[in-house]
Amino acid sequence: MTKTSGPIGTAEAPQAPAALDPLDELTLLAAIRRGDQAACERLVQLYSPRLMSVARRLLGNEEDARDALQDAFISAFRGIAAFNGQSRLSTWLHRIVINSALMKLRSRRRRPEQSIETLLPTFLETGQHSEHFVEWLATGEVAMHQGQVKRLVRESIDRLPEIYRTVLLLRDIEELDTQETAQLLGVTPVTVKVRLHRARQALRTLLDAHLRGDS
Amino acid sequence: MTCREFAEFLSDYVEGRLAPAVLVEFERHLAECPNCVSYLQNYQETIALGRAAFTELDAVVPREVPDDLVRAILQAIGRPPFSR
């Protein structure tokens, strides 16, 4: 019987350029505030790769990610005088690019979406599931290369209705906490929790046909 | 606890947030319902796969972004001091 109540997930962190230590961040910040153009360029060079990956994950395409990254840096440099150092510079930039990507998402023309309801489990009047579930094969046992599984998962996440996909990405991929996610999205923490749970259930449904042990 | 109620508690369970009394009922249901055991396994695996989905080679953070993008950003931000 499966039994766990702790945090799960064994994802490897994406590789990233060596991050500045806190002292180096403060030194760079001070130089930027003095008007050092080279320091500004260094900030952009240093953090663009990681921030571009974040934008790309949220927006799903290179062009929108580039726009969001550019807008994020404009916003960051305009606000850098007021940055109070309560968080790491890298964390502050991470939040700015997420906000920029979310604004880009809101400006997009909405594409037709499948209702989340069709992807959620259904129940009998007794409260029992109406469907029979089977444990999934371990990744190494499915008839797909691990890279194909990851591509399947990304494509399935992309099929989720946007408000659910966004919460899933912010909570499970970007690892923001519930409160932060709620603030960024302008919703309550309860709404975040409900959407995250539904997103996970819907993603399960989309993956099930490919991963179930009796397929 | 019904399967419907069990499903509603899944997110709190995997994040270790279930109240003790609810956890007892949750685990009792797990012991009695093989279907929910499978569903829980699927749910946990879904979370793990989601987190791992962006670590593929082409999603790995590159050491650099294209020069034209860096130039475009630097041009857009202008020169210091930066005004709001």
Determine the average pLDDT of the residues in A4-9.
33
Any CB–CB contact under 8 A between B15 and chain A? yes
Domains in chain B: boundaries: 3-77
Q: Give the minimum alpha-carbon distance from B62 to chain A in angstroms, rounded to a whole number.
A: 6
Residue pair A184/A171 in contact by the 8 Å Cβ criterion: no
- DSSP assignment string, B12-80: HHHTT---HHHHHHHHHHHHH-HHHHHHHHHHHHHHHHHHHTT-SGGGSPPS---HHHHHHHHHHH-SS
Q: Which two tokens stand for residue A74?
A: 């404009």
Determine the average pLDDT of the residues in A98-114.
85
Which residue in A39, A79, A35 sits closest to B81, CA to CA? A35
- Please report which residue ranges of chain A form alpha helices under DSSP H: 22-33, 37-59, 62-79, 89-107, 146-159, 162-168, 178-185, 189-211
Which residue in A161, A157, A158, A153 sits closest to A195, CA to CA? A161
Distance CA B61, CA B36 (A): 38
Domains in chain A: boundaries: 22-107, 116-211
Whether A96 shows a pLDDT value over 90: the answer reads yes
**pLDDT value at residue A139:** 58
Distance of CA B34 to the CA centre of its chain: 25
Query: What are the average pLDDT values for consecutive 10-residue runs of chain B, which has 84 residues?
Result: 96 94 96 96 94 66 74 80 60
- Domain at A116-211: CATH code: 1.10.10.10
ipTM: 0.84
Q: Give the minimum alpha-carbon distance from B28 to chain A in angstroms, rounded to a whole number.
A: 11
**pLDDT value at residue A35:** 85
Residues of A in contact with B54 (CB under 8 A): 11, 14, 53, 57, 150, 154, 173
- Chain A window 65-104: which residues touch B at a Cβ cutoff of 8 Å? 66, 69-70, 73-74, 77-81
- Domain at A22-107: CATH code: 1.10.1740.10
Nearest to B73 among A12, A70, A153 (CB): A70
| pLDDT, tens only, A24-67 | 888 999 898 888 888 998 999 889 988 998 998 888 888 999 99
